[in-house]
Amino acid sequence: MKALLCKAFGPAGTLVLEDVDSPRPKGNEVLIEVQAAGVNFPDTLIIEGKYQFKPPFPFSPGGEVAGVVSAAGDKVAHLKSGDRVMALTGWGGFAEQVAVPAYNVLPVPKSMDLTTAAAFGMTYGTSMHALKQRANLQPGETLLVLGAAGGVGLAAVEIGKAMGARVIAAASSGEKLEVARNAGADELINYSEQSLKDEVKKLTGGSGVDVIYDPVGGPLFEEAFRCMAWNGRFLVVGFAAGGGIPALPANLPLLKGAALVGVFWGSFAQRQPADNAENFRQLFAWHAEGKLRPLISRTYPLAEGGDAIDALARRKAVGKLLIQIR
């Protein structure tokens, strides 16, 4: 089979497409014939040795896939050959086949095609867990989404609206904000041209926002926290801005009675599989109702997977990027 390989930590341009042996599924794994793989921010980190996991060389990046099961281990009871599935792989997804533990695999509903499924799992899974389990977002509350035109940001906008919140989308350009508006955002802030704190103050009558969803980090981190309402929840989702991990003066959560809450969906999915499955039942229902519409802005062939990772790393992507395998 063909796979896009990382043979040494480095930039996306060093990835190479080669023929490798097909994986053999263990007893608790299924073998998936990959149709498409999503491109996510961890892919930009794992190839440079900056992610919390460092696979042995050579390895393929690619943390989520959708495809068809071609074989199942003898300990797998709920999946069989021919099933259409989506999977959280960690790495290995930028390949024609991947073996995945069955607990990281979900059947894809008939209402969803496999290309959409490859763009759905990580972004919507992350945002649903963040807003439901971590923030306990309530109808009528105000949600501020930073990086609102990226994959997880757009998912947070749509899920926030589906949960009954007022959604303020913040992004770095008018083009990105238009994408967020199309996803249902009620208010827009261009933080490259406007003061985030001043605009939030105007839009909330000075009271601040109840929940902040931050996949960006960087210099906006502290300014955004200062936009919190009393008893607010600040969701730490990621650090796409780069430049190191931001810090926060400890008096700010105290003065606002606010919570700084970490979001690690991959660990949640493994530790609380029943809750994760319930989240996806709701997400699939919202998708079938037309409330969630994943935006796939560009699709790349497997040989150009490095270009896709590079585009995401440079924050040039709007919505979701995909690698089309078949």
Spell out the domains of the chain, with CATH numbers in brackets. 2-120+294-324 (3.90.180.10), 124-266 (3.40.50.720)
pLDDT score of 166:
98
pLDDT score of 282:
98
Residue reference for tokens 């926030």: 160
pLDDT score of 242:
77
pLDDT at 95 over 90: yes
CA dist list (Å): 120 to 26, 94, 116, 207, 320: 26, 16, 6, 34, 9
Q: Name the token pair of 50.
A: 């900056």
Q: Name the token pair of 48.
A: 């440079």
Strand partners, 86: 66, 106
pLDDT score of 315:
78
Neighbours of 72 (CB within 10 A): 21
pLDDT at 270 over 90: no
DSSP state of 56: P
Rg (CA), the chain: 20
pLDDT score of 53:
85
Q: Which of 98-107, 123-132, 165-174, 264-273 has the least mean pLDDT?
A: 264-273
Q: Name the token pair of 68.
A: 């068809």
Q: pLDDT above 90 covers what percent of the chain?
A: 91
Q: Which of 11-25, 107-121, 263-277 has the least mean pLDDT?
A: 263-277
pLDDT score of 311:
94
Per residue in 18-47, pLDDT (tens digit) is 999 999 999 999 999 999 999 998 999 999
User: pLDDT confidence of 194, banded at 50, 70, 90?
Assistant: very high
Per residue in 238-268, pLDDT (tens digit) is 988 777 899 999 999 999 999 999 999 989 9
Q: Tell me the average pLDDT of the chain.
A: 95
